[in-house]
Amino acid sequence: MSGKGALSVVPAGVLTGDNVRKLFDYAKENKFAIPAINVTSSSIVNAVLEAARDINSPIILQVSQGGAAYFAGKGLANGNQEASIAGATAAAHFIRSIAPHYGVPVVLHSDHCAKKLLPWFDGMLDADEAYFKEHGEPLFSSHMLDLSEESKEENIADCVKYFTRMAKINQWLEMEIGITGGEEDGVDNTGVDNASLYTQPEDIYDVYAALSKISPNFSIAAGFGNVHGVYKPGNVKLRPDILGKHQEYTKEKIGGAEKPLYLVFHGGSGSSKEEIREAVVNGVVKMNVDTDTQWAYLTGIRDYVLKKKDYLLTQVGNPDGPDKPNKKYYDPRVWVREGEKTLYTRVKEACADLGNENRN
């Protein structure tokens, strides 16, 4: 791959502050994007980092509100988001300690936060500020605030409020305007009308105008017909071409350089290679993938269990003999590893689709 290497621009391990922007600038200039994989356990974190290491490229790891609670343990109460806060913080510390061993740059991010989940956001920001006091950088590289269900005015005003706080600790903000269809944490967008799945260029510009006064370190998840989850091809059409129109509109308004916006592609699973390519050419620097990597993780485990079924029915006794122990078949390090291998392969595929290969 030609061009200057990312590692000459940013270091390995978790990136914060201007390093996040440098990475996204590098991606935009070189027309590639970085996948953001939802992680819910250390096993999944490790498999994703292993893939990034082996293709020598940066990666984004993100926790959703539900994924963070799972990271902390399903047995914990989460009525006030306490498990989601504890789990997000624990995942962040784990990722911070392990990422440097994989030798690739990592963006550590949290996913959709709707209005009703703001206590989760506040808890993570408290942890970021405490970490900043000690280390001079926030715990997370970035967070997503998703107030796309609210009016545009309220969405932008609350983003301004939070981004002002985040900018003080050099943190990146991802916001959403227009709606990602399908389902996300605690929010069911399966029934929203089609028009709201396509963000208008004027709305994007309004976001840009408000947030760029605070800091350049923000990205926009615009709706272009994308949905969370994988369904049989239906009535919603992905329109990555409109992302190019957003770039043009804002560029003309500000009279600035080409592609002023950092755009985020939600609902990456199930997209065609052509749709992904067109989105990247139009300035998408981050594409979220969850459903397809969940599926990939399952397939390795599923196939292992089906193939080794006769070794997994009893602790002792299998086709090799009635006294043979099965410990080496049911050790989680064996069967969970099979899921890690198929996840690893799917992450590499997402990176290839986005042009994120040999970018170090």
Ligand X SMILES: O=C(CO)COP(=O)(O)O
Ligand Y SMILES: O=C[C@H](O)COP(=O)(O)O
Q: Which residue numbers are catalytic? A: 111
Regarding 268 and contact with ligand X (CB under 6 A), the answer is yes
Write out the binding residues for ligand Y, residues 172-191 only, by CB under 6 A: 184-185
In three-state secondary structure terms, 285 is: strand
Q: Which of 12, 16, 66, 111 binds ligand X (CB under 6 A)?
A: 111
Regarding 112 and contact with ligand Y (CB under 6 A), the answer is yes
Q: Which is nearer to ligand Y, 275 or 290 (CB)?
A: 290
Write out the binding residues for ligand Y, residues 22-51 only, by CB under 6 A: 38
The CA distance from 61 to 64, in Å, is 10
Q: Which of 78, 200, 288, 342 binds ligand X (CB under 6 A)?
A: 288
Q: Which of 39, 289, 343, 354 binds ligand X (CB under 6 A)?
A: 289
Q: Which helix (H) or strand (E) holds 216?
A: none
> What is the closest distance, in whole angstroms, from the C-beta atom of residue 228 to ligand X in the complex?
4
Q: Which residues in 91-112 are b (16+ Cβ under 10 Å) and which e? A: bbebbbeebeebebbbbbbbbb
280 and 354 Cβ atoms separated by less than 8 Å = yes
101 and 67 Cβ atoms separated by less than 8 Å = no
Q: Which is nearer to Zn ion, 183 or 252 (CB)?
A: 183
**DSSP 8-state secondary structure symbol assigned to residue 311:** G
Regarding 38 and contact with Zn ion (CB under 5 A), the answer is no
Regarding 146 and contact with Zn ion (CB under 5 A), the answer is yes
In three-state secondary structure terms, 359 is: coil
Q: Residue 5 CB: number of other CB atoms within 10 A?
A: 13
Give the contact letters, 18-57, x = binds to ligand X (CB under 6 A), - = no.
--------------------x-------------------
The CA distance from 104 to 137, in Å, is 19
Tell me the C-alpha to C-alpha distance, in Å, between residue 107 and each of 69, 210, 235, 289. Answer: 20, 24, 34, 15
**CB proximity list for 146: less than 8 A, separation 6 or greater:** 112, 113, 114, 175, 176, 184, 221
Q: Which of 17, 229, 244, 317 binds ligand X (CB under 6 A)?
A: 229
Q: Which of 13, 58, 67, 225 binds ligand Y (CB under 6 A)?
A: 67
Regarding 225 and contact with ligand X (CB under 6 A), the answer is no
Write out the binding residues for ligand Y, residues 123-152 only, by CB under 6 A: none
In three-state secondary structure terms, 183 is: strand
Binding residues for Zn ion, rule: CB under 5 A, are 146, 148, 176, 180, 266, 288
Binding residues for ligand Y, rule: CB under 6 A, are 38, 64, 66-67, 111-112, 184-185, 228, 290
Binding residues for ligand X, rule: CB under 6 A, are 38, 111-112, 228-229, 266-269, 288-292
